Structure 1
């Protein structure tokens, strides 16, 4: 019984981290919304390349905020991976961790066979340029760097593919 209660407690705690960290309780709103330009940011990818909004100039992009400890993020990352494999030549992709270091992200990527470009951020500085509290977050921007779709929590492959394909077709 104690084992079952412990499992239930930790399962709920893990899921809660996806929605809102307790240090940000009640603060789950968007900062960047549809129709706005991407904020200025700069992140180093695991392969050493640096990504800024200008990196995506001239083509659509998908920006994902995640944590490998987040249950919803774990479900979302394979969806993003599939889209990256299918559309990575026509659109930019970057996954940015929310307060999670290189070691755990790299291990997760390797264990799950992910090839998406990622940037491990040990703090929430970049995340807080976009939003407060809720992950996964997925932003789809057009070739000019304007956010055209934004998803907090889970998004289906079909919906995300449709949004991205519409932007690729305009390019």
Structure 2
């Protein structure tokens, strides 16, 4: 009887620790203090935030062609910052629309960065096959460690952030988009 009570208490304690860690991670306050420089902050993304009107956290990743992609290099352009994975059916549905939007806006003021959740995906071969299947020609940065998805608090894919020319978050869209949504969202910002 005493053994069962002790085991029960230990299980409850373990579940409480797990729950506390889970909620503490999600409840990290976002410091929007302008005097905090991202270059000097230990957790730079905390100074920038993820809500509408705040600067999108910068990142540097390698794309599908081995090129370095740094988000801040796109300041001055509107950015459709999409997070996706090959195993995601809504992502599969959305990709032809993204490619069509990209082709119809070639040379325009809107860039697509479709960040693949490489750390959670099915391997390089599956990703390459997906890119080839849909004939994707826009930049696909690879989040190999999962740190960018964590910074952007990605819980559902696809998730898309629409960034204005200042690199600020204008909109967050959870779920798939079509070409008209992309056009409406990017036309409505500067």
- Common topology (TM > 0.5): yes
With over 3 angstroms needed to count, the CA separation of the structure-2 counterparts of 1:54 and 1:150, relative to structure 1, is same
Give, in whole Å, the separation in 1 of the partners of 2:72 and 2:155: 26
Structure 2 counterpart of 1:87: 105
Structure 1 counterpart of 2:87: 69
Structure 2 counterpart of 1:11: none
Runs of 4+ residues deviating >4 angstroms = none
Q: Where in structure 2 are there 5+ consecutive unaligned residues?
A: 1-21, 28-48
Q: Deviations over 1:8-40 (max 9, x none)?
A: xxxxxxxxxxxxxxxx9xx999x7222111102
Which of 78, 93, 117 aligns to 2:96? It is 78
Give, in whole Å, the separation in 1 of the partners of 2:100 and 2:159: 17
Structure 1 counterpart of 2:173: 151
Residue pair 2:79, 2:112 contacting (<8 A) in 1 also: yes
- Counting only pairs closer than 5 Å after superposition, residues 95-106 of structure 1 correspond to structure 2 as 95-98=114-117, 99=119, 100=121, 101-106=123-128
With over 3 angstroms needed to count, the CA separation of the structure-2 counterparts of 1:80 and 1:149, relative to structure 1, is same
Give, in whole Å, the separation in 2 of the partners of 1:54 and 1:121: 16
Structure 1 counterpart of 2:33: none
Matched, 1:134 2:156: yes
Larger radius of gyration: 2
- Counting only pairs closer than 5 Å after superposition, residues 5-154 of structure 1 correspond to structure 2 as 32-90=50-108, 91-98=110-117, 99=119, 100=121, 101-154=123-176
Q: State the Cα distance separating 1:102 from its structure 2 match.
A: 3.0
TM-score (norm. length: structure 1): 0.74
Residue pair 1:28, 1:134 contacting (<8 A) in 2 also: no
With over 3 angstroms needed to count, the CA separation of the structure-2 counterparts of 1:48 and 1:122, relative to structure 1, is closer
Give, in whole Å, the separation in 2 of the partners of 1:126 and 1:78: 24
With over 3 angstroms needed to count, the CA separation of the structure-2 counterparts of 1:28 and 1:66, relative to structure 1, is farther
Give, in whole Å, the separation in 2 of the partners of 1:108 and 1:166: 31
Give, in whole Å, the separation in 1 of the partners of 2:73 and 2:158: 22
Residue pair 2:95, 2:134 contacting (<8 A) in 1 also: no
